[in-house]
Amino acid sequence: MAKLYFYYASMNAGKSSTLLQTAFNYGERGMRVMLWTAAIDDRPGFGAISSRIGLSSDAHRFLPGTNLHDAVLRQHDDAPLACVLIDEAQFLIRDQVFQCARLADEQDIPVLCYGLRTDFQAKLFPGAAALLGIADALIELKAVCECGRKATMNLRVDAAGKAVREGAQTEIGGEDRYVALCRRHFMARLNADAS
């Protein structure tokens, strides 16, 4: 029986690398996969899934109105899919998460979602909240805080390196403005930079 998986972690934990390695492993065995990523990054040349270590692959792009269930079934009807891999899953809307569950439950296609759990204000992303609620398997990928503990939080910093406390939930192209920290150091930086 296929499952809906949610692999979550802080920034820079290797989520995209893990997804691309999984796609490679399936392909090496002659199995077809379908890759998806959020269309939120509309800068020229973006839309592929890429990792900090240099791996990349083109992918289908989803918007809030994209019907993932129907799009996947169209591909699956052409030639069977072994699984669906979704990067930036925190940007899925609730309905899309349930569409992914239907693919696993009704079509027996495993769906592996990779994304952030929380934003820089420690608030759940909508897609992450839905996945945490209904996924069959929750797998936390590990990043490391500067102290050596597990990093679970995403601190956004300004150009001077000070913690940002307010703003839009998403900052396109601002990967260098985030620091993965354990909760203790996340709170310490927020409190220190507030004064």
> Under a CB-based contact definition with an 8 Å cutoff, are residues 12 and 52 in contact?
yes
In a domain, 179, yes or no: no
Cα–Cα dist 104/90, whole Å? 19
How far apart, in Å, are the Cα atoms of 12 and each of 8, 64, 106, 179, 190?
Answer: 11, 25, 34, 8, 20
pTM: 0.89
In a domain, 162, yes or no: no
Give how many domains the chain has, as a whole number.
Answer: 1
Q: pLDDT per residue over 148-186, tens digit each?
A: 999 998 888 888 888 888 887 777 666 677 888 899 999
Domain containing 12 equals 4-142
**What is the number of residues in the chain?**
195
In a domain, 175, yes or no: no
- pLDDT higher than 60, residue 44: no
Q: pLDDT per residue over 13-29, tens digit each?
A: 888 889 999 999 999 99
Q: pLDDT per residue over 79-102, tens digit each?
A: 999 999 999 999 999 999 999 999
Cα–Cα dist 34/24, whole Å? 12
pLDDT for 15: 87
pLDDT for 31: 96
- pLDDT higher than 60, residue 45: no
Catalytic, out of 28, 88, 146, 171: 88
Where does the pLDDT of residue 128 fall: very low under 50, low under 70, confident under 90, or very high at 90 and above?
very high
Higher pLDDT, 161 or 66: 66
In a domain, 71, yes or no: yes
The CA radius of gyration of the chain, in Å to the nearest whole number, is 17
Residue entry with tokens 């690398």: 17
pLDDT for 47: 59
| 140 is a catalytic site residue | no
Higher pLDDT, 66 or 158: 66
In a domain, 159, yes or no: no
56: domain CATH number is 3.40.50.300
In a domain, 161, yes or no: no
| Partners of 153 in beta bridges | 181
| Among the ranges given (10-14, 77-81, 104-108, 111-115), the one the predictor scored with the smallest mean pLDDT | 10-14
In a domain, 150, yes or no: no
In a domain, 158, yes or no: no
Alpha-carbon torsion (45, 15, 117, 9), positive or negative: negative
pLDDT for 163: 85
